[in-house]
Copies of this chain bind each other. A is one copy, B any other.
């Protein structure tokens, strides 16, 4: 039905591209071979001393976000990479700075996260499978703390009197594994430890991931790790990771993971990929160090924040920019004709069919996200990521509505044409950058109460009428105050499929109540995590996991990775 079905797969395109040696990519941005820590020929870690605050101050940061995502896929990463290619084509030296893929989605539903078509970062198999080991290191540091906690409960030496019933620190695994969500550990009698109820989160939701992505250097990393709240003693005193003396070994485990990873785009431009928190259940943006590294290397940086602008972009601005002092000069909102039709009521299986009625109806979703971007005092640029099934008429409707709203818009054909397909978008973005004169305005002040901060995001960003705090959340609020986390930002866990906390509410939900079920504490990262609706921090595999289709031949060539 669609022309695209006869096209090469992402993996085939990636595998058929001749990559430059990473030394060449490094050289193009002024990094000497001696500063490179190569991981094979096409990946390298960059030492932290390359971060240069003077250059950062002169570099232009462009954020890519999106309308509310749909199962059809909108191509935010693809657009980010394509836009970076386009800017480079226009002579603006640009680094694209992205998150690392998690193996959960790779083996689950979504597949890889290295862009698509002719807008990819490569080597895509490596990026999608372990990459340089950062996720594994984060997982290990997280789980070392868990082992030290249970060991302290078990042994008499240096016993802190931790009440096992209060331990909030969970183990993590980079895997969609619902069976690990709620577990009982420490069975098998006295030698097996103290029995208690606990669980695993996915590694992307680990507080260590959050910390790594917010840390400025190793000392800061170590201090943040030391601040991790674990649980309480039997007499109600809060216990932190530093009380166990865990921060040194945990930081040592992260000695390489803290360094950003340099790879390349299909057109041989620099890409930095580092850190991978999900945007629904975590803060959804790459590391501060990675963004700083990109800005130290090139005068332009394109970065993405996960899922819709209600999630990744909100957290990018209110958390990451708050901690790092960044202010993006343009915010690109990715939209697709397919997603707009889906939000207007068209069924998933019919999205390739032209339907202007559903399209027009679905525009409200995009409009809400555009309003939200304006809330921050930044002018959005709409990027319509074109698919071959889109009709010209449908594309025109989107462009016209943007024109009515006074919003810049461009059609992006990065998937099909790489940088050649995004020069128009790049030009619109450069205009927006030129017009930007003020730093962005956050949606809330960190000094507000936790409830007020949640209400601010719920009402202003999500469009909720009110917020309901369930009993456990109210209890958590007391603990947050006690631990001294009240004046820090909030990192709301909410479904990515709706602006509301109900994944079935498409379009622009209104008059809804946002339900805060509980609030997790991330004292080390420096935020708390209000959990709304049915959000789970450990996903499950779908009925037919993507893993089943993957293979490798005797020469090491991978297939079936999408």
Which residue numbers of A lie inside 8 Å of B, CB to CB?
37-41, 45, 103, 107, 125, 129-130, 132-133, 136-137, 139-140, 143-144, 146-148, 150-151, 154-158, 171, 173-188, 191-194, 197, 217-219, 222, 244-246, 248-249, 251-253, 255-256, 540-545, 547-556, 558, 560-561
Closest Cβ of chain B to A351, distance in Å, is: 23
Copies of this chain, whole number: 2
Interchain CB contact under 8 A, B178 and A554 = no
- In the complex, A365→B147 CA distance in Å? 36
Rounded to whole angstroms, the CA-CA distance of A1 and B545 in the bound complex is 62
Apart from A132-B133, A150-B178, A248-B560, list 4 A-B contacts with CB within 8 A.
A103-B253, A154-B178, A178-B192, A248-B550
CB of B187 within 8 A of CB of A185, answer no
Please give, as numbers and ranges, the residues of chain B lying within 8 Å of A103 by CB-CB distance.
Answer: 140, 144, 253
Give the complex CA separation of A41 and B33 in angstroms.
Answer: 10
Q: Shortest distance in angstroms between A93's beta carbon and chain B's nearest beta carbon?
A: 27
Minimum Cβ distance to chain B for residue A14 (Å): 15
Contact (Cβ within 8 A) B144 A107: yes
- A97 to chain B: closest CB distance in Å? 22
Q: Are B38 and A253 in contact (CB under 8 A)?
A: no
Given contacts A183-B185, A219-B554, contact A544 B40 (CB under 8 A): no
**Chain B residue at minimal CB-CB distance from A251:** B552
Q: How far is the CB of A545 from chain B (nearest CB, A)?
A: 6
Residue on B nearest A220 in the bound complex, by CB: B554
Contact A150 B179 (CB under 8 A): yes
Flag if A155 contacts B222 (CB, 8 Å): no
Q: What CA separation (Å) do A186 and B180 show in the bound complex?
A: 6
Q: Are B155 and A253 in contact (CB under 8 A)?
A: no
Cβ contact of A147, chosen from B151, B179, B251, B550, cutoff 8 A:
B179
Q: Which residues of B contact A38 (CB under 8 A)?
A: 38-40
Query: A177 contacts which of B137, B143, B156, B184 (Cβ < 8 Å)?
Result: B143
Q: Are A130 and B186 in contact (CB under 8 A)?
A: no
In the assembled complex, the Cα of A275 lies from the Cα of B405 at a distance in Å of 61
Q: List 12 A-B contacts (CB under 8 A).
A: A37-B40, A38-B38, A136-B139, A143-B173, A157-B543, A171-B180, A179-B193, A180-B185, A222-B552, A248-B547, A249-B550, A255-B556
Task: Say whether, besides A136-B140, A177-B146, A193-B179, A252 and B187 are in contact (CB < 8 Å).
Answer: no
Distance (Å) between the CB of A377 and the closest chain B CB?
Answer: 36
- From B158, B174, B545, B556, give the contact of A544 (CB < 8 A): B158
Whether the pair A151, B251 counts as a contact (CB closer than 8 A) is no
Contact B175 A143 (CB under 8 A): yes
A151 x B181 contact (CB < 8 A)? no
CA distance A131 to B222 in the complex (A): 21
In the bound complex, do residue A155 and residue B543 qualify as a contact, i.e. CB atoms below 8 Å apart? yes
Q: Which 8 A-B pairs have the closest CB atoms?
A: A136-B136, A182-B188, A248-B551, A157-B543, A249-B547, A182-B187, A150-B179, A249-B550
The CB with the most chain B CB atoms within 10 A, among A144, A249, A542, A544, is that of A249
Residues of B within 8 A of A191 (CB): 178, 540
Complex alpha-carbon distance, A194 and B177, angstroms: 12
A540 is contacted by which of B151, B249, B551, B558 (Cβ under 8 Å)?
A: B151
- Chain B residues with CB below 8 A from A556, complex form: 218, 255
B252-A552 in contact (CB<8A): yes
Residue of B nearest to A176 (CB): B147
Give bound CA distance, A255 to B553, whole Å: 10
With beta carbons under 8 angstroms apart, the residue of B39, B130, B154, B218 that contacts A136 is B130
Residues of B contacting A550 in the complex (Cβ-Cβ under 8 angstroms): 248-249, 252
Closest residue of chain B to A247, judged by CB?
B551
Of the residues B184, B219, B253, contact of A129 by C-beta under 8 Å? B253
Do A252 and B193 touch (CB < 8 A)?
no
Chain B residues closer than 8 Å to A551, beta-carbon distance: 248-249, 251-252
